[in-house]
Chains A and B, each alone.
Chain A
Amino acid sequence: MAEFHKEDIARLMDGVLPWPAVQDMLKSPKDLDRFDKYLEIMAERVPWDDTILLPLTPQLMIVARKGERVVKCLCGQEYGDYRVNWKLSALVHVRDSQQALDEIYRGRDALDEAWVQLREYICPGCGSMLEVEAVPRGCPPDFEFLPDLDTFYREWLGRELPDKCEYEDRTLAVVAEWSSEGE
């Protein structure tokens, strides 16, 4: 198995690793310690101390915090239980009028507001655009990934997490709570 320096993995993440070195990574058998090195790099880059369990996206991490597993932005903004679609805790800018759509797709490329809306999910902390959805009205937000974290650590990485969490999607339960609060 190949082994790569943490510095090179960091440069790869930043898009500055020279192409021959990237090719080497592409062509070599994969390094078995990549995940751990990746976690170390991310931990060094964030301004907080919670243990990163899984980088969900380049910007959002699932972290262990006081016995809970929550989604957290690099900037420190938290989004709650990782089993609830984090988008429910984000800011959203929805372009569903022709004028708002035209700011991005102009003239010849104009979209039709009756066919598609652009949902821009924004971090309340740092203003990063975390995801963009281009979907027709009525489409629930994509819950892109619900990890089976315990299986991942226990069976794939060969180490147990200190606590256990049921592997289930809790998004609809939150929505139901919202609904009952509004009634």
Chain B
Amino acid sequence: MSEDKGLKLKEQLRVNDRELADTGHLFGLEKLERKESDPGTYEAVWHILSNLCNAAWSVGCKVSSSPIAAEGGDALWALHTPTGEAVCVSRGITAHPGLLADMIRNFIELDYEDYPGFHQGDIFENNDPHYGGIHAPDFDMAMPIFYGDELVAWTSCVSHVSDCGSVTPGSIGFLNPDCYSDGLCIAMEKVGEADKFYPWYDMRIKSRTRTPDWVLGDARGRLAGCITVREKLIEVIDKYGLDFFRDACKEYVEDSRRYAVGRVRTQAVPGRIRKSQFKDLAMKGKRVLLGKQDIDCLFNLPMELEIKADANVAISLRGASGTVPFGENISPTALKSGLLNGYSHIVGFDMFNSGPSASWEVETPPGGSWANPFEKDFSASSGVAWAPAVMWMSSLYEVFGRLYHMRGFIEEMAAGAATTMTAEFAGINQTGQYVAGLTLEQACNGSPARGFTDGENSAWCIYTPNADFGNAEIAELYYPVLYLGRNLEPDSAGYGRFRGGLGHTAVWMVHNTPSIEYQCGCAGIRSKTISNHGMYGAYPAVPDRPAYAHDTNVKELIAEQKPLVHERGDPEDQQITNNVKARELEDAAIAPFVTPEPLQDYDIIVHPVSGAQSMGDPLDRAPAAVEDDLNKGWVRAGVAERVHGVVAVSNGRWTVDEKATAEKRKTLRDERKGKAVPFRQWWDEERKRVEACENMDAAVIEMWRSSMELSPGYGDELRAFWRLPEDFIFELPAAGKEES
């Protein structure tokens, strides 16, 4: 029961929805009375609640067992209203408060209040994307909090377990062909009561995951954090009173909605903003699980925002391409939660909670697309549902960066994000333990370029503000690898006036294992192509290209004290190619992949983590900044001259030749004009090539076909732009069809 008029929670949800529709304010709060009458207490209690969630994060991560939570802090705790709206959240993986809020709402919508009922100490969980989860490794938990006999709040948690028992070993299953291979499923279940898990919950994890001790340890971590929230919250209510707590929680959520709307209104511009984005998943000819996966895919990830006159934001994914037979499809609920993550970074981060999402009108993504798979493809896999979503969300940073620029708020601008390439291991480690999980390298990218300076190197992550790649020594404790290198990667960000922060490269030697599976995973990467983040004339960051060597001569190299591999080296002069001999050596592998054979001792892995996107014409980059990069080894001389037009000489230290640089830049600008043609001239020729599908990979053709079929209006606009026949559809040539 809710506190209002003895309504059931489901009835209260209807009241809430109606009040928002009628007044435009969450809970119908046209005034924030607690804030206005006692702003000091209002603010103080907010910080207490926030600290309480962060205390839960500290406790929960310490209790957890897997390196993902215990070392990387890849988890999150939150406090919710009785009807599910997130009030405040801890640090950690901020992509989740939206779906945790929706999960609680779903428990209510499904009449769980009647059966099995809500009681103090009950533990509910979900990890099933069909019911709003993001992907199976993210276990979402919620517990109702009672004060006396009244349900006054919920606490929730998500932690990313090291293994959920999917058909492919490792933490996140991009390779899963369908949902039946996604692993252990907890579908909106009550999994414990009286603060204890049911025995069968433990038994299921023990029989269906590869690392049950870690998975159960993480479950206890989630529970410990939730109990921490509950126990501390009861003390807060004792002190400040239930009436204040109830009122203030609603006001915090509405306050946050107002903040987001206010920020858009005072710092952006109304209008329509569009950003195309694409992401590849090239698997043809690689090790896959089912025959249908022997294909290359390209995702269409279009973003359209309409900033409306009332400063609410309409968001559309019209044109999203179809589902893929891999674990890269995401439910609309999870996608919206991801959007809240992006919004928290770049729009509404004063009080992070559910509030800003009430200022959106998110158009349901096309049914049967990667962003709304289950309508047409109920068995679609969501093994690593994040992969396309996070690349789509990257556009949000650039989009708002452009909006802030137009109002002159240069200090708030950002370019696009880096990518997320994971390294996953499964097999016997150096202690004889079976391990399955991922390292944390990807949780520490370069940050996007800003409107006034470069991004930060290895200090940012799109899915968590808690960017941390963890200690090398800890990774070496869990997995049978030794770090031969972990260095900033030159030229790993885009090229522009302001450079994205650089990524880094980890170099591992497999050590002390009978054999281990290595999966270079996709949690949002591009390898055949690159991002469409050429903001204001920058070049997008390089594609993700890892390397490995299997069955190597490294043992002999060590014995002979010869050079090993400690970094990538120049793109045309790589260390792994120069220094290592191997039966199988890929020095520019198209990711993602699982190595054809398990790796063994003395095998080498080179795992680059991407830098972020840049902004502005690279010829406008300050020569002194290029000189500084040269001297730090962050840009290679060829890029400095060819792309930035900077002429520099080295006598042990690089010095820019200002006069030669000015001349070089003038020459390059003139050359640009000479090489370029009027747009219309290009359009006249290009539309014939488009109609003929000239030099378009089968993956490109199939992407356009599905995008246009699933979003007819989008298709009409594309046809109109290229003046294609009204009945034109992209089709593979007969031979191409057979091949694909």
Contact = CB atoms under 8 A, between A and B. Distances in A.
Contacts of A104: 495, 539, 643
A12 B452 contact: yes
Contacts of A25: 411
Contacts of A3: none
B17 to A, nearest CB: 27
Contact of A132 (B278, B534, B543, B722): B534
Interface string A14-43: 010100001001100010101101110000
A140 B532 contact: no
Given A108-B545, A112-B528, A127-B669, A135 B408 contact: no
A38 B408 contact: yes
B571 A108 contact: yes
A79 to B, nearest CB: 10
B49 to A, nearest CB: 22
B271 A134 contact: no
Contact of A136 (B307, B529, B672, B682): B529
Contacts of A112: 528-529, 697
A161 interface: no
Contact of A91 (B273, B620, B676): B676
Contacts of B547: 108
A57 to B, nearest CB: 5
Contacts of B680: 88, 178
In this complex, the member of A96, A137, A176 whose beta carbon has the largest number of chain B beta carbons within 10 angstroms is A137
B695 interface: yes
Nearest to A36: B408
Contact of B696 (A17, A32, A114): A114
B266 A129 contact: no
Nearest to A104: B539
Contacts of B696: 114, 136-138
Contacts of B690: 137-138
Contact of B530 (A15, A35, A111, A167): A111
B542 interface: yes
Given A30-B409, A107-B572, A147-B270, A113 B542 contact: no
B682 A92 contact: yes
A138 B718 contact: yes
A175 B724 CA distance: 12
B697 A57 contact: no
A110 to B, nearest CB: 8
Contacts of B291: none
A115 B298 contact: yes
Contact of B453 (A15, A54, A147, A169): A15
Contacts of A127: 669-670, 672-673
A135 B270 contact: no
A94 to B, nearest CB: 6
Q: Interface size bucket, B side? A: 35 or more
Contacts of B585: none
Given A137-B695, A145-B273, A87 B679 contact: yes
A55 B700 contact: no
B41 to A, nearest CB: 22
A168 B406 CA distance: 19
Interface in A48-81: 54-59
A85 to B, nearest CB: 9
A106 B570 CA distance: 9
Contact of B730 (A54, A138, A178): A138
A88 B535 CA distance: 18
B408 A35 contact: yes
Interface in A143-161: 143-149, 151-152, 155-156
Contacts of B717: 140, 172
A57 B673 contact: no
Nearest to A179: B723
A59 B536 CA distance: 8
Interface in B670-692: 670, 672-673, 675-680, 682-684, 686, 689-690
A114 B278 contact: no
A93 interface: yes
B286 interface: no
B406 A55 contact: yes
A131 B405 contact: no
A95 to B, nearest CB: 9
B740 interface: no
Nearest to B700: A136
Nearest to B305: A145
Interface in B309-342: 309
Contacts of A59: 536-537, 617
A25 B703 CA distance: 44
Contacts of B412: 26
A142 B274 contact: yes
B608 to A, nearest CB: 10
Contact of A57 (B408, B536, B545, B703): B536
Contact of B408 (A37, A107, A128): A37
A145 B271 CA distance: 7
Contacts of A145: 269, 271-274, 402-403, 406
Given A15-B453, A104-B539, A138 B675 contact: no
B374 interface: no
B140 interface: no
B619 interface: yes
A7 B173 CA distance: 53
B679 A88 contact: yes
A103 B678 contact: no
Contacts of B617: 59, 128-130
B721 A172 contact: yes
A115 B529 contact: yes
B408 A9 contact: yes
A93 B643 CA distance: 15
Contacts of A90: 679
B2 interface: no
Given A90-B679, A105-B542, A132-B538, A96 B531 contact: no
A176 B717 CA distance: 12
Given A12-B411, A144-B402, A131 B679 contact: no
Interface string B161-185: 0000000000000000000000000
B267 interface: yes
B537 A128 contact: yes
A130 B679 contact: no
Interface of B: 265-267, 269-276, 278, 280, 298, 307, 309, 402-403, 405-412, 451-453, 495, 498, 528-540, 542-543, 545, 547, 568, 570-574, 587-588, 616-620, 622, 638, 642-643, 669-670, 672-673, 675-680, 682-684, 686, 689-690, 694-697, 699-700, 703-704, 717-718, 720-723, 730
Q: Which 6 A-B pairs have the closest CB atoms?
A: A132-B534, A38-B408, A127-B669, A91-B676, A107-B571, A107-B572
Given A15-B622, A140-B718, 6 more contacts: A59-B617, A106-B638, A134-B531, A136-B704, A142-B274, A142-B276
